[in-house]
Structure 1
Amino acid sequence: MTYGNGNRGDQGDTARDRAREAAVEAVVEAALGKLDLDTKARLLSGQDMWSLPAIPEIGLRSIVMSDGPIGVRGVRWSADDPSVALPSPTALAATWDPELARRAGRLLAQEARRKGVHVLLAPTVNLHRSPLGGRHFEAYSEDPYLTGAIGTGYVQGVQSGGVATTVKHFVANDAETDRFTVNNVVGERALRELYLAPFEAIVTGARPWGIMTAYNTVNGTSMTEHRHLVHGVLRGSWGFDGFNVSDWLAARSTVGAVKGGLDVAMPGPTTVYGPALAAAVRAGEADESEVDAAVRNVLRLAARVGALDGAEPAVTRPPEPVDGTALAREIARRSFVLVRNRGVLPLRSGAEVALIGAAARDARILGGGSATVFPARVASPLDGLTAALPEGALTYAVGADPSDELAYADQGFELRAVCRNAAGDVIGERSLPTGQVQWLGSDLPDGVSHDALHSVEITGTFTPRESGEHSFGTRGLGGFTLRVDDTVVYDGTQEMGAESDPFEAFFGAPRERATVRLTAGEPVPVSLRHPVELPFEMPMPAVVFGLLHLGPRRDPDELIAEAVDAAREADVAVVVVATTETVESEGFDRTDLRLPGRQDDLVRAVAAANPNTVVVVNSGSPVELPWRDDVAAVLLSWFPGQEGGDALADVLLGTEEPGGRLPTTWGALADAPVTRVTPQDGQLAYSEGVFIGYRAWERSGATPAYPFGHGLGYTDWTYESVDVTATTGTTGTTGVTGPAATATATVTATVRVRNTGPRPGREVVQLYLSPAEPDADRPARWLAAFASVIAAPGETVEARLELPRRAFETWDETAHAWTLRDGGYHLTAGRSLTDARVTTRLELKP
């Protein structure tokens, strides 16, 4: 198996494709020749938050971009414009299935076309360098090979639907702390072997139409100005011919950006390009040829997505429609990783189940920040199990809430946003499914302009589902008047705080404003009025604020006691624990790996009351599980997307098998070998070199809770043999000797596995390479290939995997080139990094 030769759909190297590309280039050149300097400079600058300007005189329509990666939000940040919400990228990577990633991409292309979006701002292929990275749920893995494989499938799928991808964030944006200003100091070898490797795999294997350059600096140069990495590596060595767009607000220098190879500066209308770029050319500070090169890339993008007259789009007939609900459910159950099972799963027929945990009722389906989308429906674990189990078989208890912090008004609220001018007249309205207003750029209710808008009022009713003291609050900057049950409970102003991240400062910290005693089932009117006055200059107009709510705070010990009582009366207790948006989100890193609140105490108490306790971990990246040896089963559900609850019922009841394997190591923070994410004096040194993730764990000698690649199913597997074939025709056998392959040989491994369990199953066959002679400058072993097989009970199947040449190469910092490392290798096939089943020896000769 390789990740460089996948199905490219309409992007392949056929004669027709080459002819079409030549014709497209001719149209692009003709269009470019008709543009003057000012128009070209304007084209490279966002016209608003999400789009580039149209130029009708050359037949160019506006190109619209949208955040991903789990859905397509479109140009509106609102639950009133719903999107399919797939499981998180860590979940997608946990499937170890590039073809499933390709199918996910096709669905997202379908969603993008439905919303009029040409460019999806995804996938994120930065690495899990440290478990403290706050945005790791949005990236795939700690391993560059697995990341490249999943990312390649994803890009191929999206672009097969005629929608562009922008692989991000190029490069070394592996943490959030001081992300706008940090200088990441990365050795050349680590940069090539780890952080650039997924980008290279995707560029060479899927030909993405876009790349997004990151906020951070690498080795002293801002990524939006990094000529060596953009022109020398990305475009030069790898042959990338797409467009290069900045992360939002990342571009800081007009001349530095255009000379560094940045094509588009977003968002607009105020950027370092536009009039500033035209002025720089006229002043002799930049060459018009550099502007032309950027415009050429944008026009090529427009041609590919069908936005340039006279050019045949890259995809003239999109793939067949995809059932988004069914695919979201399939990906979720295929991603769930069963890391422990003492025979309790799947649940036996007729079992009485106590479902416990706030996250079982109010599921966290996705991570926070720009990855946010708003699905039309969400199936929580409570929803899924209620529908799947017989009436009376399920009881529910909150147990412990992972958060005592306010969140945007949601459950029980019916809201709308009312816009008024300075005279107080209503000039527009929009329904508001949650208490969040986030109108960026031109995204305003019909009939409303920023010039006329003076205030926005969130107004409606709230019907509590619990009696008691309800807390209300605000998020945003400026003035607020909050009313609950026709009473003003707060009237004041929120000033800007000391948040280091500009986006966090802009959104403002959540603030509790009042508590009001309410009765369950009795609706009350609520409203939050906000004068629209930005306290500082923004590159685009924006209205951002929100109404927050938190239900009655009950005594945690009392809640845990109720959960214990429910668990004691049931055959099985299923406890759902979770992180919160204050733990995993964009804009900040984590300070620890603990579950928030009293959730660890809850699990211990329930496990003591019922030996058949199953814990479902609802998080996007690793958390510590100090009670893992005290429970019967642990199932990792990641952020499972909108169908997560139904998928969970499928897996717990045995209708489907948990299909996931760990894409990153899970362990205690105290044992983690790489933990530094906070810069010192503006710099973050990647001093660990090529040793991150499992490479670093093995080097340190520490034992994680669960190793890379680990995951259990509902059947058993026996690995019978691994045979290696080189182009010499010599075949190796299981054991310590094997074929002699030359440097130009194609090395193929065939692994035979047998399903020795009682039911059909899927197995992820993983191949790891290790030097026969230990080598201090290389990891003890590394992932070289993988494949999935399916077999019935008693059936033997073969997985045939090609080992890429890169698996045997390292980067030579003296020669500045890849070097094939000949000599002896052990090739091990197994169920995880540490669960080796069969091994052969391979001699690589120069």
Structure 2
Amino acid sequence: MNDEQLDRLVDKLGLDRKVRLLTGATTWRTAAEPDLGLRAMVCSDGPAGVRGESWDERRTSALLPSASALGALWDEELLTELGRLLAAEAIRKGVHVVLAPTLNLHRSPLGGRHFECFSEDPELTGRTGAALIRGIQSQGVAATAKHFVANDSETDRLTVDVRVPDRVLREVYLAPFERAVEAGVWLVMAAYNSVNGTTMTASPLLAEVLKAHWGFDGVVVSDWAAVRTTRETARAALDLAMPGPDSPWATSLTDAVRAGEVPEQAVDDKVRRLLRLAARVGALGPHRPRTVPARGHRGHRALLRRTVAAASVLLRNHDDVLPLDPAALSTVAVIGAHAATPRTQGGGSAEVHPTGTVTPLDALRSALRGRARVVHAPGPALDVPPGPVTPDHCTDPRSGAPGVLVRLLDGDGRELHAERRLSGRQPEPTLVAGAHTVEISALLRPHTTGTWTFGVGGFGRMTLRVDDRTLLDDAFPRQTDDPAIVHVTPPLRTARTPLTSLRPVHVVARRELLPGDGRATVLAAGPPAPDVRAALAEAAAAADGADAAIVFVGTTEHSEGEGHDRTSLALDGSYDDLVRAVAAANPRTIAVVNSGGPVELPWRDRVAALLLSWFPGQEAGAGIADVLLGRAEPGGRLPTTWAARLADAPVTGTRPTRGQLPYDEGLHVGYRAWLRTGREPAYWFGHGLGYTRWEYESVDVPPLAAEGSPIALRVHLRNTGPRAGREVVQVYLARPGSTVERPRRWFAGYAAVGAEAGQRVTAEVVVEPRALRHWSTRDQEWRTEPGTYRLLVGRSAGDIRCERPVTVTGAP
């Protein structure tokens, strides 16, 4: 639909009807306008899958690996395919707008939402996000580039004022969003935080950079509940305030326009953009049913399984212990709680209920059935709050079916609604008129005698009973406005009571539903923790008698998740002791790290092999087993530098001082900061071993390049290893003697190639003109400095194999 047609539609509306369209009709839906043929558009989190409008464990979703895993792919074709999968899920669930991808950076290893972002590098982040956007929007579903901009940590994220110089903002933090606009993204989400004194929903960056300089013609949507004022946000080029139906715009924007505080033409532009979006996603004009691309459930599972292997990063492989040869195995020890209950996704708004989860333990047992015996030792339990009750150990007290009973009661305790649910975590219980209290109850059959821990999560008045014992009865006032905490992961209050194995108990949690206290309610339970020494001894004994020991370690939702930054990179509990005990018992120990972001690995040189699986999604176990047993190569490369110790990391700050968070490191983020300090990390950006070896033989580079022209490199290399493999050839730039501040080297491009054993292959890498430019704050435009640059070709930011000069000549 062209602009003239959109203008005619806008002209049909009076001011009140225009303004009504600019605030959501519900939490997830935009308003409809039948007279224009405009239907409601449905938005949905999250980047790792498409949840839909309701957070209901009975309405499952395909679960992708985390964004940090996608950043490790270095494979834009696969990313586009995954984007098409997200679009198919959106269409299946009636969703028009997917709130992804997240284009913020891994500025600090302590960032709590690390798993939802792709990389520490703006170029890799931009290319990764653009490929995903192309895949999503190729099916007529809108993608959303978020969170614009500098929303790179969680501490005080609703109010923090990020202080970042203009040049740094342009070259580092805005750069991935510019890539998204070039890819044609249809929405950009304005973040909660402020940048240089102005909240992003009212920032001049929306009009001056995003819309004017870049030519973005889509919709700028607020992060949920980020609009706190009317005049400032409406004048600043924000287009849509979510959620609805309540927002400052809904109550005040009409009056602000009539008072002359907001020009009506600004409102017209917002409506025009909203109508353009509706036309793009099929929500304007005659209704045409959308069809789901015919890949099917089995095809989705195969793609996700392939992605797990492609994103896995092999950090260490001493004496080529991996891949394991199934024919040479008689006993394999699989150790650690994460082997049986892997962490497949990050918590918070990115979370979905998967269609099913393949665990590493189950996948290895299946793959080795009839060949080798698989022994599992869970190791020490983690000292974390209990998780929500599940159908594995509780039943609905009314029907006897697996799950819990959720009831809504009126003020006198009378039942208004009841239903069986599958989990003790209820972010969005069904609400009915007159509901005063939500109750979650279950019959729990303990499998262990001892002191169990129970918990109830939420805000307001809550009680927790086990049979005739009242464990909790108190009011817990809400002390945060963060929607991720209020509506998704409220704090858990716990208490303990002794239970006897196999003797059922009736557990009942109640919470009053008061305005402003959110809807999320959690009923949790956890068994007594085994003795740490005994658990370590059991794990070591299992490893000692095995041909190979595979130990799984990782983070928990309490140490890594939305709404809070980390304070440490250490693994939880006794995981370090577990790995040391297993490695001491078996020299063929393989450690698999199940985390969304960097963690300290003080034992990394004691294990024979070290594999990073990230949060691998629903096909976690299948893809990991494929890698361990050699069915697939670990294809990932690190999108972020990993420190050996937090104390070594050159950039760590996530905590504001007096409301401000200065980005004092400037251009030097990630590997750039490591290079500036001269420190050696545990693993560099771009590192990843694969299952073969490569020799870089020669590089062809033109000696001269004109300003504004791409530079094409041809890198000749040979697979000198024993099997076929994939190599990611990386190109970095350096500018010795530059008249402007530069990083010591910066990432400029890559190409992936594959070859059989012994085969030579040529990688063609194109360095785009944008890689050489810098932002002139004085002139407020991009400049390219003429002179000699160094092109550095290698396997990571710290492993450069060859170097060539190129002279860039000025524009004629």
Give the TM-score category using the shorter length: over 0.9
2:499 equivalent in structure 1: 517
Residue 833 of structure 1: how far off its partner (Å): 1.3
Structure 2 counterpart of 1:177, from 138, 150, 155: 155
* Cα offset, 1:493, TM superposition: 2.1
Q: Is the 8 A contact 1:145 1:784 kept in 2?
A: yes
Q: Does residue 420 in structure 1 map to residue 401 in structure 2?
A: no
- Report whether the alignment pairs 1:452 with 2:438: no
How far apart, in 2, do the equivalents of 1:359 and 1:568 lie? 20
With the length of structure 1 as denominator, give the TM-score of the two structures.
0.91
Secondary structure (helix, strand or coil) at the match of 2:520 reads strand
1:388 partner amino acid: A
- Looking at structure 1, the residues matched to 70 and 181 of structure 2 have their Cα atoms a distance apart, in angstroms, of 20
The reply to whether residue 526 of structure 1 matches residue 507 of structure 2 is yes
Q: What's the secondary structure of 1:399's corresponding residue? A: coil
Distance 1:330 1:364 in 2: 18
The 10-residue stretch of structure 1 (412-421 or 99-108) with the greater mean CA deviation from structure 2:
412-421
1:249 aligned to which of 209, 212, 225: 225
Residue 164 of structure 2 is aligned to residue 186 of structure 1: yes
What is aligned with 1:38? Answer: 16
Residue equivalent to 1:372: 351
Whether the 8 Å CA contact 1:476–1:546 is kept in 2: the answer is yes
Tell me the CA shift for residue 405 of structure 1: 1.6
* Aligned-partner Cα distance in 2 for 1:216–1:168: 12
SS at match of 1:286: coil
1:532-681 correspondence to structure 2 within 5 Å? 532-534=513-515, 537=516, 542-667=518-643, 668-681=645-658
| 1:284-299 matched pairs, under 5 angstroms | 284-299=260-275
Q: Which secondary structure state, in structure 2, belongs to the residue aligned with residue 407 of structure 1? A: coil
The counterpart of 1:71, out of the listed 49, 53, 56, is 49
Partner of residue 295, structure 2: 321
Residue 400 of structure 2 corresponds to none
Shift of 1:425: 4.2
User: Would the alpha carbon gap of residues 84 and 503 (structure 1) be closer, same or farther in structure 2, given more than 3 Å must change?
Assistant: closer
Query: Aligned to 2:71, what secondary structure does the other structure show?
Result: helix
The Cα shift of 1:772 comes to 4.4
Q: Deviations over 1:183-220 (max 9, x none)?
A: 1110011101100000001111x110000000011011
Conservation of the 8 A alpha-carbon contact between 1:178 and 1:500: no
Offset, 1:240? 0.4
Note if 1:701 corresponds to 2:682.
no
Separation (CA, whole Å) in 2 of partners of 1:790 and 1:320: 29
Could you tell me how far 1:529 is from its partner in structure 2? Answer: 2.8
In the alignment, residue 321 of structure 1 is paired with which amino acid? R
Consecutive unaligned residues of structure 1, counting only runs of 5 or more, are: 1-20, 725-731, 733-738
User: What's the CA shift for 1:652?
Assistant: 0.5
Which of these residues, 684, 695, 703, is aligned with residue 661 of structure 2?
684
Partner Cα separation in structure 2 for residue 109 and residue 677 of structure 1: 34
Which SS does the other structure have where 1:645 is aligned?
helix
Shift of 1:283: 1.9
The answer for the alignment partner of 1:785 in structure 2 is 749
User: SS state of the match for residue 28, structure 1?
Assistant: helix
Which residue of 1 is the match for residue 443 of structure 2? Answer: 461
In structure 1, what is the equivalent of residue 783 of structure 2?
819
Aligned equivalent of 1:760: 724
Mapped to 2, the partners of 1:648 and 1:269 lie a distance apart of 45
Q: 8 Å contact 1:563–1:606 — kept in the other structure?
A: yes
Instruction: Tell me the amino acid that sits aligned with residue 490 of structure 1.
Output: L
| Runs of 4 or more above 6 Å deviation | none
Alpha carbons of structure 1 residues 775 and 715: separation in structure 2 relative to 1, 3 Å: farther
Do 2:484 and 2:562's aligned partners in 1 also have CA atoms closer than 8 Å? no
Match runs of 1:8-157 below 5 Å: 21-22=1-2, 25-157=3-135
Root-mean-square deviation over aligned CA pairs: 1.9
Report the Cα distance in structure 2 between the residues aligned to 1:696 and 1:466, rounded to whole angstroms.
50
Q: Deviations over 1:350-391 (max 9, x none)?
A: 322111111111111111111111102011111111111135
Cα gap change, 1:567/1:74 in structure 2, threshold over 3 Å: closer, same or farther? same
CA deviations over 1:709-751 (Å, ceiling 9, x no partner): 0001111111222112xxxxxxx4xxxxxx1112143321111
User: Take 1:744 and 1:531, find their aligned partners in 2: how far apart are those partners?
Assistant: 63
TM-score (ref. length: structure 2): 0.94
1:779-799, CA deviations, whole angstroms, 9 ceiling, x for partnerless residues?
111111111111111222222
What whole-Å deviation, never above 9, does each CA across 1:639-690 have from its counterpart, x for those lacking one? 0101111111100011111000000000021111111111111111111110
> Equivalent of 2:793, from 829, 839, 846?
829
Q: Is 1:438 matched with 2:427?
A: yes
Are 2:250 and 1:274 equivalent residues in the alignment? yes
Question: 1:402 aligned to 2:388?
Answer: no
Between the aligned partners of 1:779 and 1:106, the Cα distance in structure 2 is 36
Asked whether the equivalents of residues 303 and 312 of structure 1 are also in contact (C-alpha less than 8 Å), the reply is no
Rate the CA distance shift 1:420–1:498 in 2: closer, same or farther, 3 A: closer
**Aligned partners of 2:350, 2:436: CA distance in 1, in Å?**
30
Q: Is the CA contact (8 Å cut-off) linking 1:339 and 1:712 kept in structure 2?
A: yes
Q: What SS is found at the alignment partner of 2:605?
A: helix
1:384 — aligned with what? 363
Could you give the per-residue CA deviations for residues 40-67 of structure 1, whole angstroms, max 9, x where no partner exists? Answer: 1111111221111111121111111000
| AA matched with 2:435 | L
Question: Would the alpha carbon gap of residues 296 and 630 (structure 1) be closer, same or farther in structure 2, given more than 3 Å must change?
Answer: same
1:487 matches 2:468: yes
Report the CA distance between 1:457 and its aligned residue. 2.0
Change in CA separation of 1:181 and 1:764 when aligned onto 2, cut-off 3 Å: same
- Structure 1 range deviating more: 570-579 or 417-426: 417-426
Question: What amino acid maps onto 1:694 in structure 2?
Answer: Y
How many Å separate the matches in 2 of 1:695 and 1:385?
Answer: 39
Unaligned runs of 5+ in 2: 395-402
Work out whether residues 482 and 491 of structure 1, in 8 Å CA contact, stay in contact via their aligned partners in 2. Answer: yes
Aligned-pair CA distance for 1:28: 2.1
The aligned residue for residue 470 of structure 1 is: 452
What SS does the aligned partner of 1:155 have?
Answer: helix
- Where do residues 494-505 of structure 1 align in structure 2 (5 Å cutoff)? 494-496=475-477, 498=479, 501=482, 503-504=484-485
Cα distance in 2 between the residues matched to 1:430 and 1:795: 62
1:842 maps onto 2:806 in alignment: yes
Distance 1:75 1:563 in 2: 44
Secondary structure in 2 matching 1:368: coil
| CA contact 2:719–2:757 (8 Å) conserved in 1 | yes
Contact 1:49 1:266 in 2 (8 A): yes
CA distance in 2, matches of 1:214, 1:589: 17
Find the aligned partners of 2:566 and 2:481 in 1 and give their Cα distance: 15
CA distance in 1, matches of 2:145, 2:317: 37
Q: Is the 8 A contact 1:80 1:431 kept in 2?
A: no
Report the alpha carbon displacement of residue 467 of structure 1 after superposing the two structures with TM.
4.1
- Deviation, 1:34, is 1.4
- In the alignment, the residues of structure 1 paired with residue 67 and residue 413 of structure 2 have an alpha-carbon distance, to the nearest angstrom, of 45
Paired letter, 1:354: A
- What is the CA deviation profile of residues 304-328 of structure 1, one whole-angstrom value per residue up to 9, with x for unaligned ones? 1000115999xx8775436221111
Deviations 1:503-561 (A, max 9, x none): 436654211133231315x6544332333224xx47xxx52211011122122122111
Partner letter of residue 120 of structure 2?
E
| Equivalent position to 2:198, from 210, 218, 221 | 221
Q: 1 CA distance for matches of 2:596 and 2:291?
A: 35
Query: What is the aligned partner in structure 2 of residue 7 from structure 1?
Result: none
1:201 to 162, 174, 179: 179
Q: CA deviation at 1:416?
A: 3.1
Pair 1:31–1:321, CA change in 2 (3 A) = farther
How far, CA to CA, are the matches of 1:365 and 1:516 in structure 2? 31
CA-CA distance at 1:635 after TM superposition = 0.5
Residue 472 of structure 1, CA deviation:
1.1
Offset at residue 38 of structure 1 (A) = 1.1
